Amino acid sequence: MSSRPNPAFARLAAALACALVPGASALAVEAAVVRLLPLSLEELINTPVVTASRRSEARDHTPAHIMVITRAQIRERRYRNLADLLEDLPGVDFMRGTKSSTFNNFSVQGYNSNNKLLIMLDGVRIDHPAGGKIPVAENFALYQARQVEVLYGPAAALYGADAVAGVINIITDRPADASASWVSVGAGRFDSKEASFLASARAGDQLALTVGGHRQSSDRAPLDKYYPAEFARKDARAFGGALVTPAAEREGYAGDISSHSVFARVDVGDTLSVGHYRNFFRQLTSTGDRPDTALFLRDARWDTLSETTHARLRFQPATDIRAEMLIDHSEQEIAPRSKYVNIYTGFMDKGYVYARSRRTGIEQTIDWQVSERHGVQAGVGYNDYRALLTPDLPRPYDRGRGAGEQGLVYPNTDLRIRIGEARYHNAHGYAQIQSDWNDAWTTMVGVRYDDHSAYGSSVNPRLGAVWRANEHHIFKALAGEAFRAPSPEESLGTFGSFTGARDAEGRYIGVGFRVPNDSIEPEVARTYSLTWDWRVRPDLNLVTNVYHSRIRNLVVTQRQAVPTQFIDGAVLSDTTVKGNAGEEVHHGIDWIAHWRFGLGADWDGELWGSFSWVDGHIRETDGGPRRELSYVAPRKVKLGATFRHRDRLTITPRLRWVDDTSTGRNNPLREGDRIRTDGYVVASLHVGWHQLLDGRASLWLDVDNVFDRRYGAAHGSASTTFVSMPQPPRSWMATLEYRF
């Protein structure tokens, strides 16, 4: 049943579109109102996926362990952004507000850091262009998602570098399925505000336009009020003990964040798609730092802007061959006014940083259905990369000048600042054969070859098998390798400060320096996994996933015995560098359950949950002692339920129990141990009232940290940071959603 859009809300949607997409025109959209109820379990099990084998197929034909989160589940569980969804996934340790550059830190089945998980939108990379870290927070809003597919384990045979811990693919509606447009606005505690919209329009049978966006801001909680001991005002002293700012003159805590994004795509039939995605996030660079090591200034912030533009052409050269050409260009920029005011900059307002990474790629792929039971996926591609990263600067980077024309010197010296730049390329080819030998057995064999101009060649295989024993039991086995080329932050990254002091030979003495390293080798990871999918009955599904991973050439921070002399006229003391050393091993198991139930004529619902166990070790130096994994809780329990009363009311409580978690800091009292953060239990509650305003609107109330717990997230990446970063108290947000 279709109806004309309400003019008042149409004007609101147009206003939001114009605000979020500069130059956008108002859209008058006529669309059907879609009732967003969950898929049945059978539909969920057979939801097509593309991240496993680059072709659409049922999940029980791919050997990878995959989770598919549908639009209805995203909506009812209130996954407003990718961070919310990740936090609820089995095997994921999520540490909010712990990093000064990426804000949140997370681990996936023991793989730590934001640069080991590939993030895609409809199969197009939207994360860091050069494989570095990127904020995964409120900026990755899910307003455009039809479903989110999460592939666990290495997928480098298909997707190349970065696909070490897995792949997340955000899937949007196909043009023919885009049947509803909507707008939502919300506000809540700590001056939190959110707005988002999605609209679609068609011109004839071939041309379709989809556009959406979001904007968000929050002051976050005044943590000095809720954690007075941790955020007590203390003297700010530079390296060496010199007093810079006395405690009595210190500022209060500040931790505000903001983000926005824009999504736009034009489709010409099923042949051509052209799209653009823009993603921005702002947070303070004092995030995670102790008050004695950083000033909590609102203008000391880190602004990250990422943009991806792509064009995809689909064609069919033969009846049994489908082909696709993808051309994409992505950029990420750290705004020139981003800066640090902390102990590494001597607490001076002269810690500006700038970074820019670019990638341009082209890839041609084919899907050849050789016979009824055998198919081949293959592709070749080329990517060109450019990266620039500065050390701390005394003034903002001038975009109008080249890196060698900035004319900058280190504060308190006359030493010229050198800015790191890199340009490299990578050519690749891959092939994968997937065979359904009979109704019970499927096998997959794949291999990828990469030729990297800076790091040489790499061959990454992928082998898998699926045994569908009967309608209730499916067994999967997968083995794969992945490589990760060093990111610009690791190879080019440098920081430190000078007080103006000189040694007996007249050289400036540098303190707290990280020096660059252009000789790092890629990390190589190998993972084995077994998955048992037990469909106990149509409404109950149990999944067990067992995995084992080993990483060689591990990139770690090393303290140099003899400092690298990379600044003429200076002597650097106590320097660190990113380099290859040792190995990391981790293994674990995830138990996952999903149960749909009925509670009489008017109530139904679903219950989901997981228990995760992970163990392993890391050697930070060749032949060094074994240490615990960083930022990993050995045990985690995640539970949730959604109760629905007809189509009028949904109630979704969620609960997370996280065991004591290892930090990034070694325990000086026990060899091999990390300092640990205490475990915690935290709950959230999400209530939705539906069919309001003539059946078009829903009103949501989301309460996080319902019981107002005080707890910390594992941190301790440096001696200047919290070991346990205090987390916000109870917060809430009310959101009104209107569908046209």
Give how far Cα 11 sits from Cα of 17, 37, 184, 221, 707, Å.
10, 27, 13, 34, 40
Instruction: Look at residue 115 in the predicted model and tell me its pLDDT.
Output: 86
pLDDT band at 177 (very low <50, low <70, confident <90, very high): low
Question: How far apart are the C-alpha atoms of 110 and 615, rounded to whole Å?
Answer: 8
Give Cβ neighbours of residue 44 (< 8 Å, ≥ 6 apart): 38, 68, 70, 594
Average pLDDT of the residues in 149-175: 83
- Quick check: 284 pLDDT over 80? yes
Judge whether 212 and 196 are in contact, CB under 8 Å.
yes
Instruction: Write out pLDDT tens, residues 244-259.
Output: 999 999 999 999 999 9
End-to-end CA separation in angstroms for the chain: 12
Instruction: Write out pLDDT tens, residues 684-704.
Output: 999 999 999 999 999 999 999
Judge whether 343 and 327 are in contact, CB under 8 Å.
no
Give how far Cα 678 sits from Cα of 237, 573, 590, 740, Å.
29, 35, 22, 47
Question: How far apart are the C-alpha atoms of 511 and 495, rounded to whole Å?
Answer: 10
Let me know if residue 1 belongs to a domain. no
Question: How far apart are the C-alpha atoms of 409 and 393, rounded to whole Å?
Answer: 8
Which of helix, strand or coil describes residue 692?
Answer: helix
Instruction: Give the angle subtended at the CA of 681 by the CAs of 675 and 683, to the nearest 5°.
Output: 140
Instruction: Give the angle subtended at the CA of 542 by the CAs of 538 and 543, to the nearest 5°.
Output: 130
Higher pLDDT, 33 or 595: 595
Q: Which has the minimum average pLDDT: 47-56, 518-527, 699-708, 719-728?
A: 47-56
Instruction: DSSP letter for 343, please.
Output: G
Let me know if residue 731 belongs to a domain. yes
Give how far Cα 549 sits from Cα of 152, 288, 482, Å.
12, 29, 11
Instruction: Look at residue 27 in the predicted model and tell me its pLDDT.
Output: 30
Question: How far apart are the C-alpha atoms of 222 and 245, rounded to whole Å?
Answer: 21
Q: Which has the minimum average pLDDT: 104-113, 212-221, 515-524, 528-537?
A: 515-524
Instruction: Give the angle subtended at the CA of 7 by the CAs of 9 and 736, to the nearest 5°.
Output: 15
Give Cα 628 to chain centroid, integer Å.
Answer: 24
Average pLDDT of the residues in 164-174: 90
Judge whether 344 and 293 are in contact, CB under 8 Å.
no
Name the phi and psi angles at 356, rounded to 5: -150, 130
Let me know if residue 165 belongs to a domain. yes
pLDDT band at 161 (very low <50, low <70, confident <90, very high): low
Instruction: Give the angle subtended at the CA of 468 by the CAs of 462 and 472, to the nearest 5°.
Output: 135
Instruction: Look at residue 633 in the predicted model and tell me its pLDDT.
Output: 96
Q: Is the dihedral of CA 573, 576, 579, 582 positive or negative?
A: positive
Question: How far apart are the C-alpha atoms of 290 and 564, rounded to whole Å?
Answer: 29
- Quick check: 20 pLDDT over 50? no
Judge whether 249 and 732 are in contact, CB under 8 Å.
no
DSSP β-ladder status, 570-572 and 508-515: parallel
DSSP, residue by residue, 66-116: EEEEEHHHHHHTT--BHHHHHHTSTTEEEEEEEETTTEEEEEETTEESTTS
Question: How far apart are the C-alpha atoms of 145 and 651, rounded to whole Å?
Answer: 22
Instruction: Give the angle subtended at the CA of 593 by the CAs of 591 and 598, to the nearest 5°.
Output: 170
In the structure encoding, which two tokens stand for residue 693, read together?
Answer: 């305003």
Give Cα 213 to chain centroid, integer Å.
Answer: 18
Instruction: Look at residue 373 in the predicted model and tell me its pLDDT.
Output: 93
Instruction: Look at residue 55 in the predicted model and tell me its pLDDT.
Output: 63
pLDDT band at 17 (very low <50, low <70, confident <90, very high): very low
Instruction: Look at residue 47 in the predicted model and tell me its pLDDT.
Output: 53
Instruction: Write out pLDDT tens, residues 198-218.
Output: 999 888 888 999 999 999 999
- Quick check: 48 pLDDT over 60? no
Instruction: Look at residue 51 in the predicted model and tell me its pLDDT.
Output: 60
Question: What rounded mean pLDDT belongs to the chain?
Answer: 88
Q: Which has the minimum average pLDDT: 587-591, 615-619, 651-655?
A: 615-619
In the structure encoding, which two tokens stand for residue 124, read together?
Answer: 């197009």
pLDDT band at 541 (very low <50, low <70, confident <90, very high): very high
Question: How far apart are the C-alpha atoms of 13 and 740, rounded to whole Å?
Answer: 10
Judge whether 182 and 197 are in contact, CB under 8 Å.
yes
Judge whether 200 and 29 are in contact, CB under 8 Å.
yes
Let me know if residue 572 belongs to a domain. yes
Closest CA to 75 of 684, 700, 738: 700
- Quick check: 32 pLDDT over 70? no
pLDDT band at 36 (very low <50, low <70, confident <90, very high): very low
Beta bridge partners of 572: 510
pLDDT band at 56 (very low <50, low <70, confident <90, very high): low
Which of helix, strand or coil describes residue 405?
Answer: helix
The enclosing H or E element of 7 equals: helix 7-20
Q: What is the CATH number of the domain that holds 297?
A: 2.40.170.20
Which of helix, strand or coil describes residue 154?
Answer: coil
Let me know if residue 2 belongs to a domain. no
Instruction: Write out pLDDT tens, residues 321-341.
Output: 999 999 999 999 999 999 999
In the structure encoding, which two tokens stand for residue 439, read together?
Answer: 């109704």
Instruction: DSSP letter for 520, please.
Output: P
Give Cβ neighbours of residue 510 (< 8 Å, ≥ 6 apart): 496, 497, 498, 567, 570, 571, 572, 573, 575
In the structure encoding, which two tokens stand for residue 454, read together?
Answer: 């800076």
Instruction: Give the angle subtended at the CA of 259 by the CAs of 254 and 264, to the nearest 5°.
Output: 180
Question: How far apart are the C-alpha atoms of 10 and 534, rounded to whole Å?
Answer: 47
In the structure encoding, which two tokens stand for residue 130, read together?
Answer: 């050069």
Q: What residue numbers bound the domain in which 258 lies?
A: 7-739
Let me know if residue 105 belongs to a domain. yes
Give how far Cα 78 sits from Cα of 84, 228, 594, 603, 732, Å.
8, 31, 17, 20, 12
Question: How far apart are the C-alpha atoms of 393 and 324, rounded to whole Å?
Answer: 45
Question: How far apart are the C-alpha atoms of 681 and 372, rounded to whole Å?
Answer: 51
What is the domain count for the chain?
1
In the structure encoding, which two tokens stand for residue 458, read together?
Answer: 């790499």
Instruction: Write out pLDDT tens, residues 108-134.
Output: 999 998 888 899 999 999 999 998 889
Q: Which residues of 79-117 are buried (b: 16+ CB within 10 A; e: fewer)?
A: bbbbbbbbbbbbbbbbbbbbbbbbbbbbbbbbbbbbbbb
Closest CA to 317 of 250, 249, 364, 261: 364
pLDDT band at 563 (very low <50, low <70, confident <90, very high): low
Average pLDDT of the residues in 152-173: 83
- Quick check: 28 pLDDT over 50? no
